[in-house]
Structure 1
Amino acid sequence: MELKFQGNPVKVLGDEVKVGDMAPDFTVINNSMAPISLKDTKGVRIILTVPSIDTPVCDLEARTFNERASEIPDVTVYTISMDLPFAQSRWCAAHGIKSVITLSDYKDRTVGKNFGTYIEDLGLLARAAFVIDSSNKVVFVEYVPEVTDYPNYEAILKAAKEAK
């Protein structure tokens, strides 16, 4: 898989996740500094990885999913970045984010490595989207080829609506 960041090729560590795979485990940190892993999540989940919540593209992506999440009952949206939990918490409070859960991969980088989104040279996560059904099966994957571009919102939401 070839990804670019601002037009320049970047090397992404980890294994590419594919539709049909079981979701890889991970440990991230929530805004209260508590660890969260795959087993702590349930139901249909949209997992978004982004470089930094406090950049224009990531900001709009998280806001869009915050608004659109209400369209899909019983689906949880997680936005994961390398931002520190304190910064994520401030950003959510400043923007009224209530339907998206922000999580940080800064400590162990397990989402980045286990989902194939860790850009080691930049210390950031590539932009990607994963829809995981209630049995932890991956039913949708999108690795955005240019990290600074937006994901395919409609395809992600459609996959989440159809997942069980």
Structure 2
Amino acid sequence: MERTGVIAFQGGGLTLLGTEVKVGDKAPEFTVLDNGLGAVSLKDFPDKTVVISVTPSLDTPVCDMQLRKFNESAAKLSTDVVVLNISMDLPFANARFCAAAGIDRVKTLSDYKDAAFGMAYGLLIKELRLLTRAIVIIDKTGTIKYIEIVPEVTNHPDYEKALAAVK
């Protein structure tokens, strides 16, 4: 499935691949890789509210800031909330970034192998094979409670609105 007219990169339109998800939908299952190349799935977080910060690449300033913002915010959230950052960055790059930046509250995960997350949530950019910038919040019942797809990939998401949706 392809969608156009949803996102742009520096003003130029891009195509999203995968199944579009909406608030109220059952969150699709996915498998991505942790920083040690271990498989991680949505089902690994039962009875948790799952905040997924989606970034194109941690090697860019906006993605860097997005991860740092969620890492800082995660410290203030209850223990029944888990914060994930999913990108197409390699697990080794994620581990290096987290070590250098002191990221210790957000689990960085990689979708590089199969793009399973990107396709399941309709967030894979066809032209770049990167994930688009987005925030997805899944409640304890496995239902999508909040989703923001940032229209201009180089812009920040609405952090305050997303964090308010967690509470």
Runs of 4+ off more than 4 Å: none
Structure 2 residue ranges without an equivalent (≥5): none
Q: 1:68 aligns with which of 55, 65, 73?
A: 73
Equivalent position of 2:99 in the other structure = 93
Equivalent position of 1:17 in the other structure = 21
CA-based RMSD of the aligned residues comes to: 0.9
The two structures have a TM-score, normalised by structure 1, of 0.96
Q: CA deviation at 1:6?
A: 1.6
Q: How does 1:98-109 map to 2 (within 5 A)?
A: 98-109=104-115
Q: 1:125 aligns with which of 126, 131, 135?
A: 131
Note the alpha carbon deviations across 1:93-130, whole angstroms, 9 max, x for none: 00000011100000010111011100121010000111
Structure 1 residue ranges without an equivalent (≥5): none
Q: Secondary structure at the match of 1:4?
A: strand
- The one-letter amino acid of 1:67's match is E
Aligned length: 161
Q: 2:37 aligns with which of 33, 36, 45?
A: 33
Decide which structure has greater strand share: 2
| 2:79 is the alignment partner of 1:46 | no
The two structures have a TM-score, normalised by structure 2, of 0.94
Q: Report the identity percentage.
A: 50
Equivalent position of 1:5 in the other structure = 9
Distance in 2 separating the partners of 1:2 and 1:138: 19
